[in-house]
Amino acid sequence: MKLQLSLRSVACGFLLVLSLAGASAENKAEPAASNSLGMKFVRVPAGEFVRGFETSNRSERRFHLAHQYSNRQTFKDESPAHRVSLSKPFDIAATEVTVGQFREFVAATSYQTDAEQNGGALGCFPEERDYVDRFHKAPEITWKSPGFEQTDSHPVVAVSWNDAQKFCEWLSKKENAKYRLPSEDEGEYACRAGQATWYSWGENPDAAYAHANVADGALEAAQPNTTRFQRAVRLGADEGDGVVFTAKVGSYKPNPWGLFDTHGNVWEWCQDRWSADRYERFFDGVARQERDSVVVRDPLFEEKTDQHQYGDWRVMRGGAWTCAPAAVRSSIRTFAEATDASVYTGFRVVRDSP
């Protein structure tokens, strides 16, 4: 039960640097070589950015006013905002891993996903009266049959963190290169693409429909009351991004660095273990007047804490087709157990640069 609730709700080393160097938002990403699966990559430069949701200057109030049709958001897991420095460039896939790409992996390895072995994934069942009951586990829900139509160009869903890891291991051997999931800091850095705003396109939630597949009028028309607590509650059936479930990858405008679907479509697994108070811990023992001088260096978090005694909780980023624009902001983060699989969760890969 605790496991399903965590999905439905989304559903540490560092260094103190007494320096006021500016963020490297001016750095530009460049196209990188594709691979044998047809994956296109963008080379993201090393640099520095502010991670998390900035709660000063009445920004929370501004956010709530701008998203007045959404359920109220909380930013406790995304604050305090802090400066992060990434010391190495990396290649990140321009899109999420597709059904067709995952199918090649399965065909080559005969791999069975966690959902296939453990009674199915969390699916969407709109006939249930209560919204929370519309998402539950069922044996028929797998990456092959998520309960809605997908082509080989759609993002693969109903895959666990473990499944994503196995895909990366296979692809690394196949390509003779190091493929992996992005770290949480890499995910937000790539999503923001040099922007300090709520979204990579700015701070207008209505612009989401041109950039992301989110909960909208099409979803509400197909499944009444599904978006009752989302911004989409005020939209007509022909308003929004026009897609009910997942959209083909690359269907919407890319961010300034040429990455698609970094907001919405599917939640994306990250390498990191989850820690709800992780951002606060960066400032342990640091006087408030010195916080602006803290720079966190390459903060991949893989420690097991007391929070992990009941499961291997892993970070997910980006939001999904089930989320209002408010819940696909650049700083949004949530978690699930490494064996969890749902119809709104997938992944994209990173290739370490030479």
| For range 81-93, the mean pLDDT | 97
Q: What is the pLDDT of residues 184-222, one digit of tens each?
A: 999 999 999 999 999 999 999 989 999 999 998 888 888
Q: What is the pLDDT of residues 252-300, one digit of tens each?
A: 999 999 999 999 999 999 999 999 899 999 999 898 888 888 999 999 9
What six digits make up the tokens of 262?
A: 């970094």
Predicted pLDDT at 221: 82
Question: End-to-end distance of the chain based on CA atoms, in angstroms?
Answer: 44
Q: What is the pLDDT of residues 221-236, one digit of tens each?
A: 888 777 765 655 567 7
Predicted pLDDT at 83: 96
Q: What percent of the chain has pLDDT over 90?
A: 71
On whether the CB atoms of residues 201 and 256 are closer than 8 A, the answer is: no
Cα→Cα distances 249→68, 74, 335, Å: 29, 29, 23
Give dist(CA 284, CA 20) in Å, integer.
Answer: 20
Predicted pLDDT at 104: 98
CATH of domain 2-352: 3.90.1580.10
The dihedrals phi and psi of 232, each to the nearest 5 degrees, come to -65, -10
Query: Which range, 2-6, 67-71, 284-288, has the best average confidence (pLDDT)?
Result: 284-288
| For range 3-24, the mean pLDDT | 36
Is the pLDDT at 54 greater than 80? The verdict is yes
| For range 325-346, the mean pLDDT | 97
- Domain ranges for the chain, please list them: 2-352
With CA atoms as reference, report the closest residue to 350 among 155, 184, 163: 184
Q: Residue 27 — pLDDT band, cuts 50, 70, 90?
A: low
Give dist(CA 85, CA 189) in Å, integer.
Answer: 10
Starting at the edge strand found earlier in the chain, the sheet holding 345-346 runs 333-337, 313-317, 267-273, 345-346
- Average pLDDT of the chain is 89
